Each structure stands twice: as structure tokens, then as C-alpha cells.
């Protein structure tokens, strides 16, 4: 391949790369959608761990700052396991590095076998990962 041909190929490839980078809509939209999806997955996984009484796993979803001030033993003592029957992510809304999750939780209490409540959760992005921040 001659110098002119290689130059033409390089020019075509660079235009193609610039065209992909500049094709806008898709990448901006993905950035807006992806946090909601990631947070919904993490919130559902945290609740699954709680329902399975895997408190160490549920604890791992807490923000680093929360884990700095609350040991796993203290977390276990605060959590009452065994009452939750089902947990579903209802809605997730995000702004920058913060998401609000509305969970629909079905649980049993004493002789009542099925109650449902809605819980608001706060999730924050720190160092590229999403973490649950419990209310104090």
C-alpha cells in the first residue's frame, strides 16, 4: 500500500471515529439511564441479602463512611431479620451522584402475615460505585 493510500485510510478512520464520538444522543442518554439501572440492581441485591439473612453481604452495600462508624456487629444488632417476604424496587430517580430509591416491601408482623410498606432509600456514588446510606 502506498503512502497516499495509507493516508487516505487513516483519514477515513479518523473521520469515522470522530463521527461515532460526535453522534451525541446515545451516549448522553446512556449516562442518564445507567445510574438508575445500576442503583436498582444494587438495591434489589441488598434486599435479597437481607431476606436471606446474609447480613454481611447486606452490610457490604453500606457506604464506606457508614461502615467507618458502624461495625458489622452493630449493623447485625440493628437489623431484625426474618420478617421480610418480598422487596421490589418501585422507582429510582437520580441527580448527579445521588439517587432516591422507593422500595415496596412486603413483610409479616406477629400474627399478620402480609403487610406492605414503601421505604425511601438514599444511594450515593463514591469512587465510581453506588452505596446505600441509611437514615440516622
DSSP summary character for residue 9: H
pLDDT in tens, 37-88: 999 999 999 999 999 999 999 999 999 999 999 999 999 999 877 788 999 9
Distance (Å) of CA 87 to CA 26, 67, 107, 116: 32, 23, 9, 9
Q: Is residue 14, in this structure, part of any structural domain at all? A: no
Q: What is the CATH number of the domain that holds 94?
A: 3.10.450.50
Q: In what order do the strands lie in the sheet with 98-109?
A: 84-95, 98-109, 112-126, 129-133
Q: Is residue 10, in this structure, part of any structural domain at all? A: no
Q: Give me the number of domains the chain comprises.
A: 1
Domain extent for 44: 28-133
- pLDDT exceeding 70 applies to what percent of the chain? 76
CB 90 within 8 A of CB 36: no
Q: Tell me the pTM.
A: 0.72
Amino acid at each position: 500500500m502506498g503512502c497516499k493510500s495509507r493516508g487516505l485510510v487513516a483519514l477515513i478512520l479518523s473521520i469515522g471515529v470522530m463521527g461515532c464520538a460526535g453522534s451525541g444522543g446515545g451516549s448522553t442518554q446512556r449516562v442518564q439511564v445507567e445510574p438508575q439501572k445500576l442503583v436498582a440492581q444494587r438495591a434489589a441485591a441488598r434486599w435479597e441479602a437481607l431476606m436471606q439473612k446474609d447480613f454481611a453481604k447486606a452490610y457490604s452495600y453500606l457506604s464506606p463512611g457508614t461502615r467507618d462508624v458502624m461495625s458489622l456487629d452493630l449493623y447485625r444488632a440493628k437489623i431484625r431479620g426474618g420478617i421480610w417476604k418480598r422487596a421490589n424496587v418501585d422507582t429510582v430517580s437520580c441527580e448527579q451522584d445521588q439517587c432516591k430509591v422507593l422500595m415496596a416491601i412486603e413483610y409479616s408482623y406477629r400474627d399478620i402475615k402480609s403487610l406492605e410498606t414503601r421505604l425511601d432509600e438514599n444511594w450515593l456514588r463514591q469512587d465510581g460505585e453506588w452505596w446505600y446510606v441509611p437514615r440516622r
